[in-house]
């Protein structure tokens, strides 16, 4: 646990921190968005109410992880990048293999990532959903949560450059399938060993 979390809890012993449960999105592209989240992160419809213009979906045991709604008269934000908003939503995989195999499956379905990064703490692959929301698929770059948190909170590298190094998921997958360990891949990635041939636009993840 971090020092900040420790201090917060000792100051308020009745604080019971909840987990994030679901995200609600208002969209002008309801059907396209439901399809996209089904394809990319395996969301399945758990409820489509008769009198509510939207769909609830989940990709695990929760009754819903997302609500995707299309309200009448909703207007498109054509300049999202310049407006205050939720900047990105991240989905976590339990290991690098599942992240990279998912990247390959998603690519084979016709959806390309916009950037991929070894942040030092996590390995992250970024997409734009049909509404141009930034969606991150990620796994820890460390074997344990404790190591990842320690690196994230205490390393000089994270303070100086939390973006880390761009990576090419195809090169990571090749190394993974060749038997390289998470530790070996992470170390090489942070030494720019798996950079893409063409670096992404730095605004791609914004």
CA distance 118 to 75: 36
Task: Tell me whether residue 129 or residue 136 sits nearer to Fe ion (CB atom).
Answer: 136
* Shortest Cβ 31–Fe ion spacing (Å): 27
Our finding on whether 81 is near Fe ion (CB under 5 A) is no
Q: Which is nearer to Fe ion, 27 or 124 (CB)?
A: 124
Beta strand pairing status for 134-140 and 122-128?
Answer: antiparallel
The smaller minimum CB distance to Fe ion, of residues 56 and 103, is found at: 103
Among 90, 143, 191, 199, binds Fe ion (CB under 5 A): 90
Which CB sits closer to Fe ion, 27 or 122?
122
Per-residue CA distances from 129 to 30, 77, 112 (Å): 12, 14, 11
User: Total residues contacting Fe ion (rule CB under 5 A)?
Assistant: 2
The 118-137 contact track toward Fe ion, x by CB under 5 A, reads ------------------x-
Site for Fe ion in 157-196 (CB under 5 A): none
CB 91 to Fe ion: min, Å: 10
Stretch touching Fe ion by CB under 5 A, among 20-28, 49-57, 62-70, 85-93: 85-93
Nearer to Fe ion, 55 or 121 (CB): 121
Residue at shortest CB range from Fe ion: 90
| Minimum distance from residue 90 beta carbon to Fe ion (Å) | 4
Interface residues with Fe ion (CB under 5 A) are: 90, 136
């Amino acid at each position: 646990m971090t020092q900040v979390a420790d201090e917060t809890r000792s100051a308020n012993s009745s604080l019971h921190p909840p987990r994030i449960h679901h995200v609600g999105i208002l969209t002008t592209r309801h059907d396209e968005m439901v399809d996209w989240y089904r394809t990319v992160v395996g969301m399945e419809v758990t409820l489509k109410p008769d009198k509510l213009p939207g769909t609830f979906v989940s990709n695990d045991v929760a009754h819903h992880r997302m609500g995707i709604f299309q309200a009448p008269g909703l207007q498109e934000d054509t300049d999202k990048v310049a407006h205050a908003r939720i900047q990105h939503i991240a989905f976590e995989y339990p290991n690098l293999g599942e992240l990279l195999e998912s990247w390959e499956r998603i690519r084979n379905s016709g959806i390309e990532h916009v950037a991929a990064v070894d942040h030092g703490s996590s390995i992250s692959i970024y997409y734009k959903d049909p509404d141009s929301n930034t969606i991150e698929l990620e796994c820890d770059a460390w074997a344990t949560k404790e190591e990842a948190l320690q690196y994230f909170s205490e390393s000089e590298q994270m303070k100086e450059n939390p973006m880390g190094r761009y990576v090419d998921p195809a090169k990571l997958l090749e190394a993974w399938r060749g038997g390289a360990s998470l530790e070996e891949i992470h170390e090489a990635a942070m030494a720019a060993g798996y950079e893409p041939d063409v670096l992404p636009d730095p605004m791609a993840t914004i």
